[in-house]
Structures are given as C-alpha cells and as structure tokens.
Chains A and B, each alone.
Chain A
Amino acid sequence: MSASVVYALAFYAATAILVIGVVRKIVQYAKTPAPLKIPTMPAPVTQGGVVVRMASEIVLFNSLFKSNKWIWIFGWMFHFSLLLALFRHLRYVISPDSIFMPLIGHEIVQSFGMYAGYAMLLGLTGLFVRRIVVDRVRYISSPSDYLMLLLIMGIAGTGMLMSFVEHTDIVLLKEFMLGLLAFNIHPLPTDLLLLVHLGLVITLMVIFPISKLLHAPGLFFSPTRNQVDNARTKRHLAPWAAELEADRKPGE
C-alpha cells in the first residue's frame, strides 16, 4: 500500500475518532444535569453577563491571568498561535473557488499564520520548561503530560521547517487534501517532513477525545463559569432532584 493510501485511511479513521469521541463527550456533558447552582462568585447576574465572562475566559484566559502570569503568557501565546496557524492551514482544505479563499489566502493571514509558529514553539517550550523546573508542576506531571507538549512541538517544528527551510509540493498536497474531502485518494508528496508532520497531527486527533485535551469542550460546560447567579430569584431543579420531591405532601 502506498503512503498516500495509508495516510488517507489514517486521516479518515482519526477524523472519525475525533468527531465521534468529542461529540460523545459533548453529549455526555450536555445531558448530565447540574443539580445545584455553583458559579464561582462574584458571578454575573444575567445571561448576557455570563456570555461576557465565558468570552473573557475563552479569549483572554482571564482566570489564568489572575493566577499566574507565566503560565498565562506561555499558554495564551501557544493557543493563540495555534489558532492563527490553523486558520492559515484552511488554505489546504478549501477549494480555490471558495468565497473564503480571498480571506484565507490573503497575505496577512498567511504570513501571520506562518510566523505564529515561532510564538507557538516559544509558548510550548515555556510550558515544557515549567513542567520540569517548577517542583509543584513537576510533581503533578505524568509522562503523557510531557509527551503531549512534545507532540505539539513536533507538529509546529516540522511545519515551520516546511515553511522556512524545506518546502513540500504544496500543490500536490492540496490535491491530496481536497481529494480526501471528495473520497478520492490522490498521491501525497512523500517528503519525510510532511509525513512526520501529518503523522503527528493524526496522533493528536486520535488522543484528543481520550485525554485532557477535552479541556476545550469542557470549559464551555463548566458550571462554575457558565451559570448565572440567580439562585434566589429562579428555582433551579434537576430532573433527578425533582423526583425526590415526590415525598413532599401538598402544603408542606
């Protein structure tokens, strides 16, 4: 079997695992009731306020900023760069005629996405070094915690090498990716860097739903962050808690 077929099948499998795995978790989170009001106070008293609170957590990592400036700067740098890099990569999976192409293909998006690689590596390195040198963080780290950072550093590193040192055949790659979307396997360039880069990405996709990377969907469901502080004015009752009420006689 050629590398193209192996990678194509691996991409399909990884995508299935990622999507099914994450959707299953999201469904689990959404279906599990939050029986008590537990927002970390002071909390917003309106739904709109909760949107602002959540946005400040998702975009600015507000709580982390309050907590520890080093983790915040490294963590934020990494996540924001990852976003820019991902945005840039859309170029490889959307059709050249797509209405988004002028935006994605724009020089600003492309060069920001490219140089974000440096910030990403810097952030990841900072997090990795902290994990080793700060005794408290070292104590709570498992091998998988280090390896996950190394994995993403590997993805960023190989990606940057392809951007700045050893280009791959980007036209061929794009044909391969667009082919995947149409269930049509086209040849994949066989440069070692690209194969490693894609292999690591596939690994990341597979471990996402079975690891702490679930913090991404988890944040949206965190009751300490997404609940409105209105316990006194609005009665909050989970279905299983409502069943307990059967023992209450009328007038009691």
Chain B
Amino acid sequence: MADFDVPELQEYSVVPKLKEGTMAHSAPFIAKAKFQEPLGYPGELVDNWEEKVITKMDDLRGKYRGFQVFLDSCVKCGACTDKCHYYLGTKDPKNMPVARQDLLRKVYRRYSTFAGKFFGALGIPGFVGAADLNKDVLDDWYSYFHQCSQCRRCSVYCPYGIDTAEISMAAREIMASVGVGQKYCNQIIEKAKTIGNNLGLPQPALLDTLEGLEEEVEEDTGVAVKFPLDQKGADILLVTPSADFFAEPHVDGLIGYAKVFHEAGASWTMSSHASEAGNFGMFIGSYENMRTLSLRIRKAALDLGVKRIVFGECGHAWRVAYSFLNTLAGPWDFLDQSYPIPQHICEYTHNLIENDKLKFDKSENDHMTLTFHDSCNVARASRMGDKPGGQMDIPRAVIKAVCNNYVDMPVDTIGEATFCCGGGGGLLTDDLMEVRVKGAQPRMEAYKSVVENSGVTNIAAICAICKSQFTKVLPYYGFGMTDIVSVHQLVSEAIILTDSEDDTSEDNNESE
C-alpha cells in the first residue's frame, strides 16, 4: 500500500528514541514560476539569496513581535521535544519543535546576534548554537518547515509560549520570497484569489452542484431544503470550505448546515465570490495574501447585503475567521452587531438547540458510537461561545444533542492537548503522504484505544483538512475510510424536518 513503513500502533503513545535523518528526504514540490509570480514572489531561487534571506528575516523580526521574542527566548529545556506528532511518528529529531525552530534560529544567531557573530568569526559558531547559512541549510528548511502543520501543540507546553507555527510561517515566507515556494499552497491561493475557492470551481459549477444537492435532499426527505447561492438580501452569508461542495464526508456536513438553516427559517446564502473558508495565505506566512483572500469575504458580504457571516466546519479557516478576520478585513460595522462576527456553524446550531428550536431523532445515529477529534486550530487558536474552552464544549454539546453514544478519546489527546490529524498547515498534498501518515500515528493510537475499549465506530471532526486527511490515512492503520464523519452530518441524520411551506418561524428570537 505504501512505499514507506507505516508505524505500528501502540497501546498508548510512546516517546521514541531519536533516529536522525529519517525524514530528510521528505519535501513537497517546489512552486514553478507560474505559481510564484502571481503571489508576488520571484519565480526561482534568486542569485544573492543568502543575503536576501537575512534581509527578509530582519524585516519579519521587525514586523512580528512573536517571531523576535521566540527566536531569543528558547532555553533548550526540552519541554517540547516529545510533543509534536511528527516527531512521535517519524523519530526524526529535526521534527522536535525546538530542533525545527533551531534550523532557523541558528541562522538568526549567526548573523544577527553578538554571540553568533563573535563565535562565528572564531570559526566555532556551533558553540553558541549558531550556524552558517548555505544551500544545505535552505534544503533542510524546505524539508522540515513542511513537516509542521502549524498545530500549536508545542506552544501549549512551552514555558515561554514559543509557537513553532509562527517560526514555520516566517520560514515559509522567507523561502517564498527568495524563490522557493511550495507548489500546493501557492497554486491553491492563486485559485482562491482569481476564482473564489481553493478548488477553482466557478459559479456555474457551484450552482450545478448545489442544485444537485437540493434534489438529493428532497428525494431523501421529501422536504425542499434550499442551497442558495449569490442571493442578494439574504440575512446570513455562509462561508464554508470548498471541499464541502462535493468531498465525502464534507458534503454531508453542508447538507446538515442547510437543514439547520431550513429548520431555523433563516434567510441565508453562499457566495461564489467568497466560496472558500480556508485561507492558505496563513500556511505560507503571508499577511498580504491572507488579507487579499479575507477581503473577498468582505466584498461578498457587502455586495450581497447580508447582516451576518457564519463559517462552516473548517479548522485553520476558523482560526483566520475567529482570530484574524476582524484585523484583516474589518471593521464589520455594517453587519448586525447582536451576533458574533463571524459566527461558527456549531455556535449557530448550538444556540438553536439551547433554545429548543430544533427537533432530533437521536436514534438515527444509533448505529454509531462517536468520538470527537478536536481540530488543532479550533482548539488552540480560536474560540466558540462566550467562555474560554467553548471551542471544545460546543461541538461536543452539538454531537451529544444528536447522538446517543459518545465517548471521548484519552484526555491527553483532546482539548488543548489534541493531536493534529497530520495533514494541516498546507501539508494535505500527495507529495507529502509519508509525513502525513506517520504524523497521524498519535491520533490513530488515541482512536484505536477508544475503538478497542469503548466500542467507538466513528470519529467526528469539524475541519475540511482533518476530514480529507482521515479519509486518506485511516485505511493505512486498518480502519475504514468512512469512519470519519462531519459533525453536521450527524445533525443532518437526526434532525426532524418540517415542511417550509407551513413553517413560519423565524430565527430572530435566537439569543446570543
């Protein structure tokens, strides 16, 4: 099945002895000029790239406080060394968060600190953890900064809160700026910037897909649930990952959102201009690209005249939406201020459940025993609801409202300690399959423990990347690819639909 060894799952996660170089060969395809230039980067490795790397690093140090503080503060205590799923799954020491950071930090130390310059001049930069920049170092960067899913697990455990995601983003931005960008991410950003979504689906294709879904749901339920697109004057703009339009199990989630909107009597629409929640600008560390993509959502909201924005199930997307959207594309003064801007679909559904606006037949999900995978960027980079931790509680509350059988995975693998699915942060590409499979090992071990001990049959998630990644890697570990389900797929199964013709309820009683 694979041209690499798939790790054997243990009873519980074991910290492996390190084995140098096991993943040195792993690197994604480099972006050709046609995928670099539209994003404002040079088409190939520039001539004086060493100098340019340092200049760019200096530039970023002046723009991002976190980057500067994180470069200075690490004491090499080792707290993070056993926290990264890629280290646990590959044993490669350069996948330990501190070692990954050091690939860049040693260059910073060498050229931008007194200690590094001094010992560098003496010919022993390594004495103070500094090193010269050369092509080997750049190759290491390209390899190992693309073995980080920016999941932030290390930052939870660092005594100074050092977040390798910030270092990875900066490293990718530096590399792209000297001509070494990643094909997968750049290609997707270009599509989202020109067409409106990561998959490059134009408006007619979207319309066609959504009409198909309307027919399917009506056939299935006998109720005419609408999937509106580009409907001016709608109250709610739904922005969802484009995988929701056709991938499994994503699309079942989209059907779930539509049924919830239907039952709430909400007036809602999607937008073809902003038909993508995911923002790959974050993965490559590019504020400008992230901003350009976010402004598409602003434009769509203005053009359609909506009052609210709701985001579909997507992890890194929800980080950008929750934490950055106000910064990148705000202020949102033209939207209805009595609702969170933006709001997560789980918050939306949860509010309706709390207010008894939805009816469920939970037995529809009785053939399953569920567990929930906290998506890394939802858990550690965003929130839902009013209270810290709502991003963990609300999706679980939704699941429990629609399912009878629910079991959590071991406590050190969920919540803020959750393990990434292994495919986040711009790694969800076939050229990185080995690191994706190996990086999934800790999550698969946790899943295995509840499968074996508690009879769990399915794992629910609220992230398009997690869903695609699990579909791909579950079979490597002997599980079914359909074990992964969308949270709103569960909602969709259990929800009792009323015919919209005789339903006059509006959702304006919904409390916030």
Contacts and interface: CB of A to CB of B under 8 A. Distances in A.
Contact of B76 (A25, A75, A137, A219): A137
Contacts, number: 215
B155 A40 contact: yes
B83 interface: yes
B326 A38 contact: no
A102 interface: no
A212 B73 contact: yes
A32 to B, nearest CB: 4
B78 A25 contact: no
B327 interface: yes
B177 interface: no
B261 interface: no
Nearest to A74: B77
Q: Looking at B126, B158, B161, which has the most chain A CB atoms within 10 Å of its CB?
A: B161
A57 B93 contact: no
Interface string A131-151: 100111101111111000000
Interface stretch (B27-35, B185-193, B199-207, B374-382): B374-382
Contact of B156 (A28, A34, A66, A145): A66
Interface in A48-80: 57, 61, 63-64, 66-68, 71, 75
Given A221-B69, A225-B161, A137 B299 contact: no
Contacts of A252: 298-299, 302
A42 B388 contact: yes
Interface residues of B, number: 76
Interface residues of A, number: 66
A32 B64 contact: yes
B388 A45 contact: yes
Q: Looking at A130, A235, A237, which has the most chain B CB atoms within 10 Å of its CB?
A: A235
B324 A136 contact: no
Given A41-B380, A45-B388, A222-B73, A244 B288 contact: yes
A167 interface: no
A208 B288 CA distance: 36
A64 B18 contact: no
Contacts of A83: none
A71 B330 contact: no
Given A140-B102, A214-B73, A232 B128 contact: no
A224 interface: yes
Interface in B476-506: none
5 contacts: A38-B381, A40-B152, A143-B126, A212-B75, A222-B162
Interface of A: 25, 28-29, 32-38, 40-45, 57, 61, 63-64, 66-68, 71, 75, 127, 130-131, 134-137, 139-145, 207, 210-212, 214-215, 218-219, 221-225, 229, 231-232, 234-238, 240-241, 244, 248, 251-252
